[in-house]
Amino acid sequence: MDDHPAAIQRRRFLQSVAVSAVLARTLLSAGEGGSAPAPIKRRESLMLEGTEFFLTLERTVVNVSGSDVLATTVNGMLPGPTLKWREGDTVTIHVTNNLPVSSSIHWHGIILPFHMDGVPDISFKGIAPGETFTYRFPVRQSGTFWYHSHTGFQEQSGVHGTLVIVPKDEDPVVSDRDYVVSLFDWSDENPEAIYRKLKLHSDYYNFNQRTAGDFISEVKSEGFWDALQHRAMWNRMRMSDRDLSDVTGYTYTYLLNGFTEAEDWHALFETGERIRLRFVNQSAMTIFDVRIPGLKMTVVAADGNPVKPVKIDEFRIAVAETYDVIVEPEERAYCIFAQSIERSGYAAATLAPRAEMHAARPAMDPPQPLTMADMGMGGMTGEGGADTGAMKCGGGMQMPKEEGKKHMWPITPLPMRRGVGTTMKAANPRYRLDDPGVGLRENGRRVLTYADLRNYYSTADAPPPDREIVLHLTGNMERYMWSINGIRYADAAPLTFHYGERLRITFVNDTMMIHPMHLHGMWSDLETGDEARLVRKHTVLVQPGSKISYRVTVNAEGAWAYHCHMLYHMPGMFRKVEVLP
C-alpha cells in the first residue's frame, strides 16, 4: 500500500462513500419500518431579492430528528429565506403574523430608525396575531447580517434568517462564488420547557461533569491537597469547570443551512475559484468552533464589516456573530465542520467540486475544562497548576493602550447590587483578547482571536471617549439567574446615553460563561490593540472572568435594546438604552 497523498485521499473518499451508503440504507429502512416516519425532505431556504418583501410567520410541521414537530417559521422555511438587499436602496418588508401569539422581526446589526428595529415594548408594540406590520428604511451599510424574532423564545423554534447586503460601491472582498453558511441549534423540545428545566436544574443538559475518575487523575497530576483545594474553590463558586454550555446536544440537533450533518448540505465549486463563505451563528444558545480540515480560511469581514485579511485554521463564532471567510479549495471534498463549544455535537456540510462527493467528518476535540483565568482569578500563568498556561500571555499580552493611563475620561457611576443574584465575582479580570478561549487553547491550529482583528478602514479620525461606563455581567448559575450589575432587567432603570457623545463601554464578566453582548442601533467599535483600526462589531463575545472595552458613537435617537444574545440569559441580562437629546 503506498501512502502517497492521492492514495490516502482516494481511500478516505471510498470510506466516506461507504459511510453515506450505510446512512442512506438506514434512512430508507426507517421509512419502510412503519414505526419511524419517513423523513420529510427539507428544501433549501430561498433567497429573495429586491426592495419589497413579504414575510409570513406561521406554524409549520418540520421533521429534523425523526419526529414531526411544530416550528415557528418564516415563509414556511427553516431557516427563513435569505433576503438580499442593496446598499442605498430603501427596503419595504411586510411581515404578517399568522402565529397565535404576538411576534416581531428584528434586523440584527442594521443601522435604522429605532421604530423599525422590531423590539417589542422598546421600539414598537409588536405584531399582534393576524396583523401585518410594514418595515421601511434606507439600507446604509453592506455585508452579512441576519434577522430574528425578538419575542419570547420564537427564535429558538425557527424565526430567523440571513441578510446579504451588496455594497453600493466596489466590494473590498473579491470572490468568484458566494455562499451563506448559517448555523443553528434546533430542538424538538418546546423552548419554554427548556427554560423551565434550566430554572429547576441549571446543569440539566450538561453531561460533562467531573467524575471520581477525574479526581483520581487530578490527584496524580497535582497532588491530593492541591486537587482538593481546586475542587473546593469551584464548589464555593457553585460552578463546575465543565460548565461550558447551558444547553447541549442532549436536546439540540445542530443544523447548517437547515440541514443535519447526515443530510449533508453541499457547497459546490470549480477548482481555482475564490469562494466567499458567509458564516452566521443564528443559534439560540450555541457557540461554535468552525474549521475546514485541510483548508486555510482568510477572514475578510466580522459582523458584516471588512477587516484586514487574516489567514487562519479555525475560528470561534458566538451566538449572533457573523464572519466572512475566503477559501481557495483544491479538487477534492472538504468538510465544513462546526463543533459546539462543549463538544456535545456538531453541524457539518461538504465543500466539493461535485455533488456526489462526501467529505469525511473529523473527530470532535475533547472538551477543555475552565481554568483559573476563566474564573477571573489570578494571573495568566499557572496558579497551583490549574491554569494550563495555554494563553499567549507574558510580555505579549494584548490590551488596549489606555490601560496604563487610567481615568483619562470620567467613569459614570452606575447602580450595582450584590446578593443572591450574584454568586460569582471576577477578583482579577483581565483583557484577554489574544486568548482563543476555552476549548481552543494549544490545539495546534491557528485560531482567530479578537487581537487578530483590524478594521479594513482607518478609525484614526474617531474622537476619544467623553466618558466611560462599566457594566458587570453577573449571575447565579445554580438558580439560573442572569443580570447586569447584579440587577435583572425587570428591576433595572434604563441606561442613559446622550446624543452626540462618544462612550467607552467596558464589560467585566463576573461569570464563567461566555456572554455575546449586543447593542442595538449603534456600532460597537472594539479595542483590539490598534487605535487607528478599531473593529466595528454589533455583537461582542465577553470571555469568562475577563474584561473587554469598546467605543460607541451615540448617533441614533430613540430607545434601544442592549443584551446578552444567549436566548435563555436574555430575560435577566438585558437593559433598555435611552438616547437623550
Residue 16 or 423 having the CB closest to Cu ion: 423
State the DSSP H helix or E strand holding residue 193, giving kind and residue range, or none if neither: helix 191-200
CB of 397 closer than 8 Å to CB of 388: no
Residue 242 or 569 having the CB closest to Cu ion: 569
Q: Is 559 in the site for Cu ion (CB under 5 A)?
A: no
The one-letter amino acid code at 402 reads E
State the minimum distance, in angstroms, from the CB of residue 578 to Cu ion. 22
Q: Is 569 in the site for Cu ion (CB under 5 A)?
A: yes
Residue 358 or 515 having the CB closest to Cu ion: 515
- What string of H, E and C letters represents the secondary structure of 14-67? HHHHHHHHHHHHHHHHHHHCCCCCCCCCCCCCCEEECCEEEEEEEEEEEECCCC
Please give the grid coordinates belonging to residue 178: 458566494
Q: Which of 566, 567, 577, 579 binds Cu ion (CB under 5 A)?
A: 566
Contact region with Cu ion (CB under 5 A), list: 376-384, 405-413, 463-471, 569-577: 569-577
Contact region with Cu ion (CB under 5 A), list: 83-91, 295-303, 381-389, 556-564: 556-564
Residue 276 or 565 having the CB closest to Cu ion: 565
DSSP label at residue 580:
E
3-state SS class at 220: helix
State the minimum distance, in angstroms, from the CB of residue 573 to Cu ion. 5
Q: Is 540 in the site for Cu ion (CB under 5 A)?
A: no
CB of 342 closer than 8 Å to CB of 287: no
State the minimum distance, in angstroms, from the CB of residue 563 to Cu ion. 8
Residue 73 or 156 having the CB closest to Cu ion: 156
State the minimum distance, in angstroms, from the CB of residue 197 to Cu ion. 17
Q: List Cα–Cα distances, 152 to 101, 149, 190, 561, in angstroms.
A: 10, 8, 12, 14
Residue 93 or 319 having the CB closest to Cu ion: 319
Residue 109 or 143 having the CB closest to Cu ion: 109
The one-letter amino acid code at 388 reads T
User: DSSP of 106-157, one letter per residue?
Assistant: EEET----GGGS--BTTTB--B-TT-EEEEEEE----EEEEEE--STTTTTT
For β-strands 334-340 and 288-291, DSSP reports them as: antiparallel
For β-strands 502-509 and 177-187, DSSP reports them as: unpaired
**# binding residues, Cu ion (CB under 5 A):** 5
Q: Is 320 in the site for Cu ion (CB under 5 A)?
A: no
Q: Is 276 in the site for Cu ion (CB under 5 A)?
A: no
CB of 148 closer than 8 Å to CB of 95: no
The interface with Cu ion within residues 501-520 (CB under 5 A) comprises 515
Q: Is 542 in the site for Cu ion (CB under 5 A)?
A: no
Q: Is 564 in the site for Cu ion (CB under 5 A)?
A: yes
State the minimum distance, in angstroms, from the CB of residue 194 to Cu ion. 15
Residue 260 or 422 having the CB closest to Cu ion: 422
Residues lying near Cu ion in the complex (CB under 5 A) are found at 515, 564, 566, 569, 573
